[in-house]
A = this chain, B = another copy of it.
Amino acid sequence: MDMLDHNGLTEREFMEQYRAGDYERPSVAADMVIFTVTEAVEDNYRKLPEKELRILLIRRGGHPYLGNWALPGGFVRLNETTEQAAARELGEETGVDDVYLEQLYTFSDIGRDPRTWVMSCSYMALVAGSQIELKAGDDAADAAWFKVSHRLLREGKELTGDGYVKTQQYELSLYSHEEELAAVVERTVTAKQTSTATSYSIVSNDGLAFDHAKIIAYAIERLRGKVNYTDIALNLMPKLFTLTELQQVYEVILDKELLKAAFRRKVADLVVETDHYTENAGHRPSRLYRRNMEDYR
């Protein structure tokens, strides 16, 4: 049974005569915050190396933001979803294809790209340290892993007529082996009696391209939030790991020390013990665990 529209057309007829309007359309990029955990060098053979949370950045070889560092990403092509575009870019940059990928947020501020109208559909990827193998493609001629730090700098609250405005300034610092980048991202919560709105803005920015400081800050917040109530952090671990290593990963994500006993109780259901142990550390060996693939809820 064919329904007719107000012009008397069936759906088939409508589709045949349909032409996309020639109004302006945005470009859509898929940009990615790729997290991994690496180990710092430790000269004392007895001590465990510290873990570091790192993200991949690529130095821009062209205008705009020439010489600045940007998130890996690229434009979404026809007949491809944003997620496929993200996975494709991830493969191109790091050579890995089986990683945790989660959509974060779509940034669409006007003027965020000075060239043209570009929205960024951003993703977070979690890669186990061992999986990494940076491709030296022409595109990624200058890629580097930056250690991440994201801390509350300042906080303020101002009462308005029927609500308040709360501002939080976070300092985002990124360190590679050769460079140091910094930015301050402000989060503004405007609460009224009937509504609440949250917005982000970049207060200062030294060395990061576009609005990528905002995207990175958003990704860290998401990761921190999810670590507490999901097993998301396990996507950063190799197949076998010790509970102390897992705790170090939690600590470096949360930027906070955790108590061992409580931590082990908390993750007990997320992991399964194996019969393997670490060897040749300068101290007692540690049991190795793997991710629990059974239900734990």
A positions within 8 Å CB-CB of B = 3, 5-6, 9-11, 14-15, 18, 20, 23-28, 61-64, 66-67, 75-83, 98-101, 103, 105-106, 108-110, 114-117, 119, 121, 128, 131, 157, 159, 162-164, 191-197, 235, 239, 290-291, 293, 295
Q: Collect the chain B residues with CB atoms within 8 Å of residue A117's CB.
A: 78
Whether the pair B66, A5 counts as a contact (CB closer than 8 A) is yes
Chain B's nearest CB lies how many Å from the CB of A163? Answer: 6
Chain B's nearest CB lies how many Å from the CB of A88? Answer: 13
Q: Collect the chain B residues with CB atoms within 8 Å of residue A5's CB.
A: 61-63, 66
Q: Collect the chain B residues with CB atoms within 8 Å of residue A114's CB.
A: 15
Measured CA separation A3–B164 after assembly (Å): 44
Chain B's nearest CB lies how many Å from the CB of A196? Answer: 6
Whether the pair A28, B119 counts as a contact (CB closer than 8 A) is yes
User: Known contacts being A98-B192, A100-B197, is A20 close to B115, with CB within 8 Å?
Assistant: yes
Partner of A106, one of B24, B121, B192: B121
Measured CA separation A100–B163 after assembly (Å): 14
Whether the pair B128, A194 counts as a contact (CB closer than 8 A) is yes
Instruction: Please give me the 8 A-B residue pairs with the lowest Cβ-Cβ distance, nearest first.
Output: A14-B63, A25-B25, A24-B78, A20-B116, A82-B108, A81-B108, A106-B106, A11-B63
Measured CA separation A80–B63 after assembly (Å): 24
In the complex, residue of chain B having the shortest beta-carbon distance to the beta carbon of A78: B24
Measured CA separation A223–B34 after assembly (Å): 28
Whether the pair A157, B67 counts as a contact (CB closer than 8 A) is no
11 A-B residue pairs with CB within 8 Å: A9-B63, A11-B64, A14-B64, A15-B64, A24-B77, A80-B110, A98-B194, A100-B197, A163-B293, A191-B293, A195-B235
